[in-house]
Structure 1
């Protein structure tokens, strides 16, 4: 990433459920404004305003070790939960995984669950029901801080990209077949975290979460009132 260009890649296929994995190392040079991402999205990357859509994000804001997670629930998102990680993500590769099935979306960092977004459609909360593809990008955003361009170029590194997922046509809502129990991530053991995972997530969220949209009346959304 420099003043003239960013970079990114996307999967050729779209998916209706799965386990999505990558290992990342963010830029070493210290600055604000640079956003390093790994995410699922239903948006066709054509440069237009995407409008309301489904998306599930990991976004590093600047290079200070803070990762922001977000869920766009057929809207403009604003479900940010941010974590000041327990390691320096610019010094080595770490794994970032997204589990998505009809019961829950789980964010994992180095196999540790840090966030769950449950399917609460029965309680009036939307849930991703459209196929999404994978993207990874590095770009700059004013809302993420001021870029120190004297430090450019900023280099994000990715490795060990792996998808265990159910294929579906692009921007399709016909993804019912992706709930099949033939896929391991749809089996009952993946419907919710087990007791050990729940305890681990609670401990890590208490220790490392620095922002939660549910914590403020102005940013709360309906799912914040539901027990996950």
Structure 2
């Protein structure tokens, strides 16, 4: 028979783990953001499609706010002429000084590749875009897109291959998202004012409806009820990259990067952002 002290210990452990989330379900873990029945949740919450038509796009938002974790989503993008469409999967807090971690897929004309755009905001400061082409056709099948976030770094992955690693550089005065809980957003919308060739190619509504598929959402994350519970949460088993992952990351950097804000000397003609300057750049190790 369990003693009162052991029962108290078990109860304490249960309460502490209540702030953690494992797995995911579109029915249980998300609310409708916009689009009404253009959000179609299937298979008892395991899969979902979002639709963009001439009237509206669509999207969902997580019920919970999270502070650190790994978030995985399998996505199959809009096929054919997807120019002007934006399929987004991202974390964001609220307010003008918000934090945000973005994965956005910018549609293109048939035969031209999608652009995967990433960005990070901290305390309302953004402008940290990195963009990539993919080494596969993301409209033919589902692929896993992941955000792995803790207080030390953010890793964005495609099929478990890291494409971006952003380390916490608060030690040199660079803002980093460490304090604001964020919700998960998944959306499909008309971004033709900027998404394809800087807005030169518009959405062709004769191809509507545009449909993207999502399935097997998974969160290994800390639900931010008090904030204190999440301080030591690592957001995944690995604190950094192992040697194999580092090599894969180097290949992505050498072959698939289309735009890097740290190399945009036109945009930053009067000086690159502080973390991009020669003396502050961290090596890819």
> TM tier, shorter chain?
0.7 to 0.9
Q: Which runs of 5+ in 1 are unaligned?
A: 44-49
Q: How much does 1:101 deviate?
A: 0.6
What's the TM-score once normalised by structure 2's chain length?
0.71
Q: How much does 1:150 deviate?
A: 0.8
Structure 2 residue aligned with 1:139, among 186, 189, 213? 189
Runs (4 or more) in structure 1 with deviation over 3 Å come to none
Q: How much does 1:75 deviate?
A: 2.2
Structure 1 residue aligned with 2:116, among 67, 70, 85? 67
| Alpha-carbon contact 1:65-1:90 (below 8 Å) kept | no
- 1:8 is aligned to 2:62: no
Q: How much does 1:175 deviate?
A: 2.9
Cα deviation code 1:31-76 (max 9, x no counterpart): 3210001000002xxxxxx533210011011143211011112225
Q: How much does 1:222 deviate?
A: 1.7
Q: 1:205 to 1:176 in 2, by over 3 A?
A: farther
What's the TM-score once normalised by structure 1's chain length?
0.88
| Alpha-carbon contact 1:69-1:82 (below 8 Å) kept | yes
Higher relative contact order by CA 8 Å / sep ≥ 6: 1 or 2? 1
Q: Which runs of 5+ in 2 are unaligned?
A: 1-51, 197-201
- 1:153 is aligned to 2:209: yes
Structure 1 residue aligned with 2:241, among 193, 202, 213? 193
Structure 2 residue aligned with 1:95, among 144, 149, 172? 144
Q: 1:175 to 1:127 in 2, by over 3 A?
A: farther
RMSD: 1.7
Q: Which has the larger radius of gyration?
A: 2
Structure 1 residue aligned with 2:263, among 212, 215, 219? 215
Number of aligned residue pairs: 214
